[in-house]
């Protein structure tokens, strides 16, 4: 059975735009996954500590045969391969951040995974690119991505040029 999953991609270290491009390629080669859509890249100020570079973010849609927790493990392996070290500091700088935003219409709340991702509806750098690739996608418990994107403050987002 194939499930449509949406992955938030972010980076603010080691050439962030290139990190995001490489992540999209890596997602498409992840076992049991096929990348079917990718948003434009957006540059935005960091969330959390301001003493770090701006982030570059995008959202990718994947068709996957992997279970949600197995997909999460694959995402974390890609982060580690890109040099991410999980040091407990929240919202700090990182070469790659991959978040499982949506897993079809599933609602998952376990110790290591919450889907929909808690920030999907309120973070412009997540909901705007999500709505760009699938404006009619319903975020369980929140509504249509296009409507949510229209309601969020996106004044800090800038489209990242190639």
- Choosing from 22, 41, 43, 99, which is the catalytic residue? 99
- pLDDT score recorded for residue 93: 81
Task: Give 120's contacts (C-beta < 8 A, 6+ positions apart).
Answer: 8, 101, 102, 126, 127, 130, 139, 142
Query: Residue holding tokens 């190639």?
Result: 162
- Choosing from 94, 123, 134, 137, which is the catalytic residue? 94
- pLDDT score recorded for residue 85: 77
- For the chain, the straight-line distance linking the first and the last C-alpha, in angstroms and rounded, comes to 36
- pLDDT score recorded for residue 89: 65
**Does the annotation mark 84 as catalytic?**
yes
SS3 breakdown of the chain: % helix, strand, coil, rounded to 5?
30, 30, 45
**Does the annotation mark 89 as catalytic?**
no
User: Please, are residues 30 and 74 in contact by the beta-carbon 8 Å criterion?
Assistant: yes
- pLDDT score recorded for residue 88: 64
Task: Give 79's contacts (C-beta < 8 A, 6+ positions apart).
Answer: 94, 96, 97, 98
Tally the domains of the chain. 1
SS3 84: coil
**Does the annotation mark 40 as catalytic?**
no
- Choosing from 21, 97, 123, 134, which is the catalytic residue? 97
- Which domain CATH number covers 134? 3.30.70.560
Ranges of the chain whose pLDDT falls below 70: 87-91
**Structural domain boundaries, residue 47:** 3-159
Query: Residue holding tokens 């849609």?
Result: 61
- pLDDT score recorded for residue 50: 82
- pLDDT score recorded for residue 114: 97
- pLDDT score recorded for residue 161: 82
């Amino acid at each position: 059975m194939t499930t449509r999953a949406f992955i938030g991609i972010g980076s603010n270290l080691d050439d962030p735009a290139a990190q995001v491009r490489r992540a999209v390629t890596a997602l498409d080669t992840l076992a049991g996954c096929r990348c079917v859509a990718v948003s434009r890249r957006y540059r935005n100020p960091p969330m959390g500590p301001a003493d770090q570079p701006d982030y570059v973010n995008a959202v990718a849609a994947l068709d996957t045969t992997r279970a949600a927790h197995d997909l999460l493990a694959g995402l974390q392996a890609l982060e580690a391969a890109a040099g991410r070290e999980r040091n407990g500091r929240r919202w700090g700088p990182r070469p790659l951040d991959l978040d499982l935003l949506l897993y079809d219409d599933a609602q998952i709340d376990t110790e290591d995974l919450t889907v929909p991702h808690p920030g999907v509806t309120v973070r412009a750098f997540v909901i705007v690119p999500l709505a760009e690739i699938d404006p009619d996608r319903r975020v369980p418990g929140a509504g249509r991505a296009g409507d949510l994107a229209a309601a969020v403050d996106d004044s800090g987002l800038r489209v990242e040029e190639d």
